[in-house]
Amino acid sequence: MTVSTLPRPTVLADFRSDTVTTPTPEMRRAMAEAAVGDDVYGEDPTISELQQELARLSGFEAGLFMPSGTMTNQVAIALHTRRGEEVICAEGSHIYEWELGMMATFSGVVPRFVPAPLGVPDPEDLRLAVRRSIHQSPTGMISLENTHNKAGGTVLPLEVLAAAREVATQEGVPLHLDGARVFNAAVALNVPLKEITRHFDTVSVCLSKGLGAPVGSVLLGSAAAMKQAHRYRKMMGGGMRQAGVLAAAALVALREGPARLAEDHRRTQVLARALVEAGFDVNLAAVQTNIIYVRLPEAQTQVDAWASKGVLASALGHDSVRFVLHHQVNDAALEAAISVLTA
């Protein structure tokens, strides 16, 4: 992603990511009033509350709060794998594409992509990708992503999750979910979070994406796994001491954020249709939650032109622009942005 250096006018709408939201007044109040302690000693009551609440919602024994989704994913990889192994994942997965080779540098493992049209791998391809030969890198884990960011915020059907679970169990391979936007998936499928998370050994959830917290992700798993994860988190520099101030905002995001996601998804449809009507190349089948990819030449030039008129989006690669909706783009902002984008 290239960060534009052009001078910017008043921002009408910032669609670069759902990470750009700023803390709400309720979050700031909760942060000011948060009870805190040293979380490396496990003594921060607000962090413990956040971990327990998310563990309860997702059906896991325990959770561990970390500064980023990259860290929760990479700690999961460290937990599940040994050096020289492979991580099977859907092509375009964030854990490899956008995590700076960390699986290689920290855990000493390499990715093996399986095809994933619209972000959804065929469970049989996951099975065929499992390797055991003495001449090959053994499989350490399988990782799925829901929603799948690079495929367009697409949702994995529950049958695919169940089939992937079966493969993982039969093959004796741990199954991880990069659920940075798993709440978006749950809202899109209209199911409780547990219906998705129950298939996995570990799940990573971002509070700082659509839910709107300023900072933080939680890794979920068994109590034993989270005890081990605590050590890897510390190794990566993620032992954060009195970070209950962050967890307090994340708790507000967790309690109030999910209910707002359906609105983000509705506005995403409005924007996608407006873009298609204006002649832009959008695969509407991939627009399932809060993300839209537009294929166009000279992506950065177009993004800079829109930015000069107050509408921010991300150029990803030469020919792709990404729009991400979040709760701080309301209907009025959306309407203003559509006028600019379709002018």
Ligand X SMILES: *Cc1c(COP(=O)(O)O)cnc(C)c1O
Binding residues for ligand X, rule: CB under 6 A, are 68-70, 73, 94, 145, 149, 178, 180, 206, 209, 217
Residue showing the smallest CB distance to ligand X in the complex: 69
Q: Residue 97 burial (CB < 10 Å; 0-12/13-18/19+)?
A: middle
Smallest separation (angstroms) from ligand X to the CB of 37: 24
Smallest separation (angstroms) from ligand X to the CB of 82: 23
Which DSSP helix (H) or strand (E) runs through 66? strand 62-66
Residue with smaller CB distance to ligand X, 98 or 309: 98
CA-to-CA distance for 339 and 343, rounded, in angstroms?
A: 6
Residue with smaller CB distance to ligand X, 86 or 178: 178
Beta bridge pairs of residue 323: 292
Q: What's the token pair of residue 330?
A: 């309301």
Torsion of CA 295, 300, 302, 305, to 10 degrees: 160
Smallest separation (angstroms) from ligand X to the CB of 98: 7
Residue with smaller CB distance to ligand X, 12 or 151: 151
Residue with smaller CB distance to ligand X, 112 or 322: 322
Smallest separation (angstroms) from ligand X to the CB of 5: 22
Smallest separation (angstroms) from ligand X to the CB of 140: 19
Residue with smaller CB distance to ligand X, 316 or 336: 316
Give the orientation angle of helix 244-256 with respect to helix 25-33, to 10 degrees: 140
CB 230 within 8 A of CB 66: no
Smallest separation (angstroms) from ligand X to the CB of 124: 24
- Burial string for 112-142 (b: 16+ CB within 10 Å, else e) reads bbbebeebbbbbeebbebbeeeeeeeebbbb
Residue with smaller CB distance to ligand X, 149 or 289: 149
Q: Strand 175-179 to strand 202-206: parallel, antiparallel, or no bridges (unpaired)?
A: parallel
CA-to-CA distance for 251 and 33, rounded, in angstroms?
A: 13
Residue with smaller CB distance to ligand X, 116 or 180: 180
Smallest separation (angstroms) from ligand X to the CB of 19: 6
- 3-state SS class at 160: helix
CB atoms within 10 A of CB 215: 19
